[in-house]
């Protein structure tokens, strides 16, 4: 199938487009969209997006080797859990199928994009494993004033979603 956003040919079972990072699952395709056969022939439509390779983030197994306590966080290798959280307002549909942990990580991903470091070992380890992350701002020195209005609203939306799933939210560093 072709991505309805950029026209890139993608495998039928893809969740995200590897070219533009847009979410594809449950997306009705508009057959009237006319994309060139060669994506290189496309004219740029605004801001260039970095291609994403979709993969699963594999959690480190516990020291005991018991992988029953280990869970995976779906994320784009060299990408994001919610690639568009800095560009547009998120909806319930964007969160469909995400775990409590993934929602928490996606919320913190907004701050991590701006170089925020984390007191939580779990979060810091996760973001250190992301190729796009460059932690440079201590939690004490980080100011939300660097966030756009869209990012601020999305962080609040994700926080509300997290605490509606569990009144205590996701418990970082619990393992």
Q: pLDDT of 109-162, one tens digit each?
A: 999 999 999 999 999 999 999 999 999 999 999 999 999 999 999 999 999 999
- For the record, the structure tokens of 61 come out as 């197994």
Quote the CA–CA distance of 26 and 96 in Å, as a whole number: 11
Quick one: pLDDT at residue 6?
65
Short-list 102, 120, 13, 113, CA closest to 57: 102
What CA dihedral angle connects 148, 154, 159 and 160, to 10 degrees?
A: 130
Domains (ranges, CATH) in the chain? 80-165 (1.20.58.1690)
Core vs surface per residue 38-56: b (16+ CB within 10 A) or e: eeeeeeeeeeebeebebee
More confident residue, 16 or 64: 16
Give 75-96 pLDDT, tens digit per residue: 444 479 999 999 999 999 999 9
């Amino acid at each position: 199938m072709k991505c309805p956003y950029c026209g890139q040919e993608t495998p039928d079972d893809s969740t995200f487009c590897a070219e533009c990072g847009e979410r594809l699952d449950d997306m009705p395709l508009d057959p009237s969209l006319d994309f060139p056969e060669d994506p290189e022939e496309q004219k740029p439509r605004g801001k260039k997006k970095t291609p994403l390779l979709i993969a699963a983030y594999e959690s480190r197994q516990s020291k005991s080797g018991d992988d029953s306590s280990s869970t995976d966080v779906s994320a784009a290798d060299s990408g994001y859990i919610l690639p568009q959280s800095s560009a547009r307002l998120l909806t319930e549909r964007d969160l469909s199928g995400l775990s409590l942990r993934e929602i928490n990580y996606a919320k913190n991903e907004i701050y991590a994009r701006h170089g925020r470091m984390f007191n939580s070992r779990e979060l810091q380890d996760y973001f250190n494993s992301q190729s796009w992350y460059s932690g440079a701002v201590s939690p004490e020195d980080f100011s939300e004033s660097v966030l756009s209005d869209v990012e601020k609203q999305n962080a609040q939306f994700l926080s509300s979603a997290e605490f509606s799933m569990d009144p205590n939210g996701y418990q970082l560093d619990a393992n």
